[in-house]
Amino acid sequence: MKATAPPAKRRRGPRLAVLALVFCSLLVPIAFLFNRFPTVYVTDERPQQEIDLPSFDRLGVKSGGGVNEVRREGAAVSTGVNAEAQDALEKISRSSKDLQHKSDSEPSRVSTKPTVLSPPKIEQPKPEVKPVSVPVQHTTGVIERSKPRGARDQNADEVEKAKACQLEFGSYCLWSIEHKEVMKDAIVKRLKDQLFVARSYYPSIAKLKGKEALSRELKQNIQEHERVLSESIVDADLPSFIKKKIEKMDQSIARAKSCTVDCNNVDRKLRQILHMTEDESHFHMKQSAYLYNLGVHTMPKSHHCLNMRLTVEYFKSTPLDSDDSPVHKFNIPDHRHYVILSKNVLAASVVINSTVSSSEDTKNVVFHVLTDAQNFYAMKHWFARNSYRESAVDVINYEQIILESYPDFGTQQLYLPEEFRVFISSFEWPTEKTRMEYLSVFSHSHFFIPEIFKDLKKVIVLDDDVVVQRDLSFLWNLDMGDKVNGAVKFCGLRLGQLRNLLGRAIYDPQSCAWMSGVNVIALDKWREHNVTESYLQLLRKFGNSDDEASLRTAALPISLLSFQHLVYPLDETLTLSGLGYDYGIDVEVAQSSAASLHYNGNMKPWLELGIPNYRKYWKRFLTRDERFMDECNVSP
């Protein structure tokens, strides 16, 4: 008798492969739900032509007199100064090549004197220069800021929450607070609150013996509330019998509360609902902040249309330059030369129009508009079509000049003034002294101005987000001595508070930062002090030419160190800054006391997200009755 063969073993390989595929198919939609929103954000910085979606890092630096957070935003890298967190510098993208730094110190709570590093050796301090006063007509007020409406009666917790929100989402928090809408649908909100409470009690009631009727009643009320809320999101959409359902649910909840249940279960359920609500709220916060920052960084469609129409018209039409072209004025040293770096046609035209309108004599006034190759022809055609009294406008292709003059340096795209978001607070009064400022400094493009205008001795550099309200002719009569850069100082931030950022460079720790916006530049003194050569040396130390993010982040230490001991302090009333982020500036003070208005911040006046109370000062100098603006629906 032959033995029967054993049954063949079933192959488990195909079965396991099928199970793995099913498991992966379940994980993909779950992963998509948990990652519905990108983890990188554009935060407040000057609007750019290109849409950039970076993240931001923080570099901790302990300051002697306060906590400072400095962020360079919008170009994929930020530089932080945060004595509370002291977080390490994180990598922001796969292509990022930033070095990682750590700072792990916290100010002592016992000692009144903060721990500071020994100051580096500095050169002999020079006599202090007295700031020049700005002639202001018919004004007696002093430029000051009123408290923002949302921050007048804040307690410590609210201040900390607002600060944490700004650290993560930037000035979107200020914008959202200012535009927060009052809850109008109170009945819908009450339905949701009842639903949360009923859901927390139902599992415990369902386990009790003798409470089957109450359990069924709660379950029925929960289902009816869910059905109503799925069909109605505002009070106007609610059915007419909703009051009866609310009363019925109140009675059921009251009966459930009278029962003896395990409080831990109810507490656990309520906490679970709370956490889910907080997660949902944070998700919508991130989504709103992303869309907000996308809006401030993206050129409006109407502005893009205007640039394209002007460019096309430039090549279609005959040259508009007449025989009496003001080209001969461009290189005369005795004339008053203003330099504007801009990619925005309307912004540059407002700066020129406001300056000309505020000047008594414009016969010898020349404006040099430096722009990139993309916007060169649009700028050239616009200023050929529009005249500004007797002044002359010279449009220059910045990129072409740099490529021709500095072939070894490489092609540099036009960089607008870089802006850094600065948080400043005092150790003694952390809740009352906390404030946010935008510090704007020169970009890399500014350091080649003396090489572009070799025949000029003095220029005034204007940012394209500035509106001039007073005659600036007195600035041409300034005797700055041996100084190079006439600027408004910002002593809320000193170099000693940025020691980890500045590295081993030699600097005066008590030296104040300064602001761009309206700057008087002595080009002859610039050349004597070899500021451009100093800039190139600092660039090799702080910047990585292969990484645009690192290059633009280096603008802060390079600008502060290049002009150390070379800044001539101008009076603070020359420029009122903060109109691009601060809602608390007094409108009357902005109109009467400031010689110029600086819209530093990300809420620029040409955007719909600009602060409405301040946009009117910018719009009054906007060119009207322009055909291309009407065709492109440009209405800032």
Indicate the burial class of 78 (C-beta count within 10 angstroms; 0-12, 13-18, 19 or more). buried
Identify residue 222 by its one-letter amino acid code.
Answer: I
Residue 165 falls inside a structural domain: no
What pLDDT does residue 112 have? Answer: 33
- Residues in contact with 207: Cβ distance below 8 Å, sequence separation at least 6, in sequence order: none
Residues across the chain: 636
What does the buried/exposed string (b/e) look like for 367-390 if buried means 16 or more CB atoms within 10 Å of the residue's CB? bbbbbbeebbbbbbbbbbbeebee
- Residues in contact with 91: Cβ distance below 8 Å, sequence separation at least 6, in sequence order: 57, 98, 100
What pLDDT does residue 92 have? Answer: 29
- Cβ–Cβ under 8 Å, residues 90 and 60: no
- Hey, what are 155's tokens? 């307690």
Distance CA 294, CA 291 (A): 5
Please give the tally of structural domains in the chain: 2
Q: Which among 268, 296, 324 is the end of a domain?
A: 296
- Cβ–Cβ under 8 Å, residues 53 and 180: no
pTM of the complete model: 0.69
Query: Are 352 and 412 contained in the same domain?
Result: yes
In order of 20, 79, 507, the CA distances from 422 in angstroms are: 51, 10, 20
- Cβ–Cβ under 8 Å, residues 42 and 52: yes
Distance CA 399, CA 343 (A): 12
Query: Are 385 and 332 contained in the same domain?
Result: yes
What pLDDT does residue 429 have? Answer: 57
Query: Are 304 and 406 contained in the same domain?
Result: yes
Residue 360 falls inside a structural domain: yes
Beta bridge partners of 522: 458
pLDDT tens digits for 478-508? 999 999 999 999 888 888 888 777 877 888 8
Pick from 525, 506, 513: which is nearest to 555 by CA? 513
Residue 95 falls inside a structural domain: no
Inter-axis angle of helices 301-316 and 376-385, nearest 10: 80
Residue whose pair of structure tokens reads 């910085």 in the numeric block = 45
Residue 94 falls inside a structural domain: no
499 is in which domain, residue-wise? Answer: 299-631
- Cβ–Cβ under 8 Å, residues 622 and 168: no
Q: How many C-beta atoms surround the C-beta of residue 510 within 10 A?
A: 13
What pLDDT does residue 158 have? Answer: 65
CATH number at residue 386: 3.90.550.10
Query: Are 365 and 491 contained in the same domain?
Result: yes
Q: Which residues of the chain have pLDDT under 50?
A: 1-3, 8-9, 28-68, 73-130, 132, 134-153, 323
Residue 181 falls inside a structural domain: no
Query: Are 289 and 207 contained in the same domain?
Result: yes
What pLDDT does residue 491 have? Answer: 86
Residue 428 falls inside a structural domain: yes
Distance CA 139, CA 439 (A): 27
Query: Are 291 and 397 contained in the same domain?
Result: no
Distance CA 271, CA 282 (A): 16
Q: Which among 259, 275, 296 is the end of a domain?
A: 296
Indicate the burial class of 301 (C-beta count within 10 angstroms; 0-12, 13-18, 19 or more). exposed
Query: Are 528 and 497 contained in the same domain?
Result: yes
Strand-by-strand arrangement of the 575-577 sheet:
466-468, 596-598, 575-577
Q: Which among 275, 296, 317 is the end of a domain?
A: 296
Residue 14 falls inside a structural domain: no
Residue 218 falls inside a structural domain: yes
What pLDDT does residue 563 have? Answer: 93
What pLDDT does residue 553 have? Answer: 80
pLDDT tens digits for 118-131? 333 434 444 444 45
In order of 122, 422, 520, the CA distances from 480 in angstroms are: 22, 29, 9
Query: Are 317 and 437 contained in the same domain?
Result: yes
Query: Are 385 and 399 contained in the same domain?
Result: yes
